[in-house]
């Protein structure tokens, strides 16, 4: 926060975009791994929000966008730590939105589905290649493909812009209809 203020003079937007996603059944996940996932995926966002809020409150404006995941509301076996953390990101975002809306601070969660990222390329590698991953994507994400990082960036840009001044406390799903499907 101090470096951004020194460089740019003010902060208008905070984009908290971090996450780790270890696989492991709850019985296999160590307490240390559980704590690490919660620290990276939720606590880091809490700490950044806490650090930037005084500046945003002084300005009386600002947008905070926290990356959650479609897996905050949909999950599969072996991702209990990740799912719990990303549900926490949505909860944190909603709570902050309610607490600071009257002071001009907007807080939203972004919930991507399958996105073409290094983390998902690693998933493909662990499965034996993209040809092993795509049937899973087609089954889980009716769009039938991963979103590009550019497509996700445009959703972030919208939430950061003055075009979304009435949007706060929302979880915006960029998930290729994953949450609309049964």
- Kindly state the tokens that stand for 1: 């926060």
Range list of H helices, the chain: 2-8, 31-38, 44-59, 80-100, 118-127, 130-140, 149-160
pLDDT tens sequence across 81-93: 999 999 999 999 9
Report the C-alpha gap between 146 and 112 in whole angstroms.
10
Provide the annotated active-site residues.
82
Residue 67 is predicted with a pLDDT of: 98
Residue 169 is predicted with a pLDDT of: 98
pTM, two decimal places: 0.93
pLDDT tens sequence across 122-171: 888 888 988 888 888 898 999 999 899 999 999 999 999 999 999 999 99
């Amino acid at each position: 926060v101090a470096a951004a203020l020194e460089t740019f003079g003010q902060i208008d937007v905070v984009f908290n975009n971090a996450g780790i996603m270890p696989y492991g059944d709850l019985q296999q996940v160590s307490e240390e791994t559980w704590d690490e996932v919660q620290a990276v995926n939720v606590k880091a966002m809490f700490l950044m929000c806490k650090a930037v809020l005084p500046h945003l409150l002084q300005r009386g404006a600002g947008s905070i966008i926290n990356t959650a995941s479609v897996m905050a509301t949909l999950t599969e076996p072996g991702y209990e730590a990740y799912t719990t953390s990303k549900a926490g990101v949505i909860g944190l975002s909603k709570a902050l939105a309610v607490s600071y809306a009257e002071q001009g601070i907007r807080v939203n969660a972004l919930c991507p589905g399958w996105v073409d990222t290094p983390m998902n390329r690693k998933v493909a590698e662990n499965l034996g290649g993209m040809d092993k991953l795509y049937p899973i994507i087609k089954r889980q994400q009716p769009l039938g493909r991963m979103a590009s990082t550019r497509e996700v960036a445009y959703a972030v840009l919208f939430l950061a812009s003055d075009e979304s001044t009435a949007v706060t406390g929302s979880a915006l799903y960029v998930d290729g209809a994953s949450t609309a499907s049964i």
